[in-house]
Amino acid sequence: MPAETPQFASLQTPVLLLDEAKMMRNIHRLEAHAKALGVTLRPHLKTAKSVEVAKRLGGGLEGPITVSTLAEAEEFHRARISCILYAVGIAPQKLSHAWDMRQQGCDLILLLDSIEQAKAVAAAEIPALIEIDSDGHRGGRAPDDPVLIEIGRILHAAGCLRGVMTHAGESYTVSGAAAHAAFAEQERAAAVQAAQALRAAGLPCEVVSVGSTPTAHAARDLTGVTELRAGVYMFFDLVMEGIGVCSIDDIALSVLTTVIGHQRDKGWIMVDAGWMAMSRDRGTQSLAVDQGYGVVCDTDGRVLDDLIISSANQEHGIVTLREGSTATLPDLPVGTRLRILPNHACATAAQFQRYHVLPADGGALQTWPRFGGW
Nearer Cβ to a second copy, position 100 or 206? Answer: 100
- Of 334, 342, 335, 339, residue with least CA distance to 358: 339
* Minimal distance, residue 296 CB to a second copy, in Å: 16
* Measured distance CA(162)–CA(128) in Å, rounded: 6
* Minimal distance, residue 168 CB to a second copy, in Å: 12
Kindly report the number of other CB atoms within 10 A of residue 204's CB atom: 15
| Torsion angle defined by CA atoms of residues 361, 362, 364 and 366, in that order, rounded to the nearest 10 degrees | 60
* Minimal distance, residue 71 CB to a second copy, in Å: 9
Nearer Cβ to a second copy, position 56 or 94? Answer: 94
How many Cα atoms sit within 13 Å of 58 on the Cβ side? Answer: 18
Asked whether the beta carbons of 279 and 271 are under 8 A apart, the reply is no
Nearer Cβ to a second copy, position 104 or 313? Answer: 313
* Minimal distance, residue 101 CB to a second copy, in Å: 12
* Minimal distance, residue 346 CB to a second copy, in Å: 6
SS3 call for 108: strand
Nearer Cβ to a second copy, position 67 or 222? Answer: 67
Nearer Cβ to a second copy, position 39 or 357? Answer: 357
* Minimal distance, residue 35 CB to a second copy, in Å: 27
Cα 280 to Cα 14, 18, 185, 283, distances in angstroms? 15, 20, 32, 9
Asked whether the beta carbons of 194 and 164 are under 8 A apart, the reply is yes
Asked whether the beta carbons of 131 and 142 are under 8 A apart, the reply is no
* Minimal distance, residue 142 CB to a second copy, in Å: 10
The torsion angles phi and psi of 111, rounded to 5 degrees, stand at -130, 140
Nearer Cβ to a second copy, position 13 or 175? Answer: 13
For residue 204, whether the previous peptide bond is cis, meaning omega lies within 30 degrees of 0, is no
* Minimal distance, residue 197 CB to a second copy, in Å: 19
Burial grade of 313 (CB within 10 A; 0-12, 13-18, 19 or more): exposed
Please report, in angstroms and rounded to a whole number, the separation of the first and last CA atoms in the chain.
42
Cα 127 to Cα 67, 90, 341, distances in angstroms? 15, 12, 39
Interaction site with a second copy (CB under 8 A): 9, 11-15, 46, 68-70, 88-94, 97, 112-114, 116-117, 131, 133, 136, 138-139, 169, 258-263, 266, 270, 272, 275-277, 279-282, 313-316, 318, 333-335, 344, 346-347, 350-353, 372-374
- DSSP conformational letter for 44: B
* Minimal distance, residue 127 CB to a second copy, in Å: 18
Write the CB contacts of 120 (distance below 8 Å, at least 6 apart in sequence): 90, 92, 95
Nearer Cβ to a second copy, position 326 or 374? Answer: 374
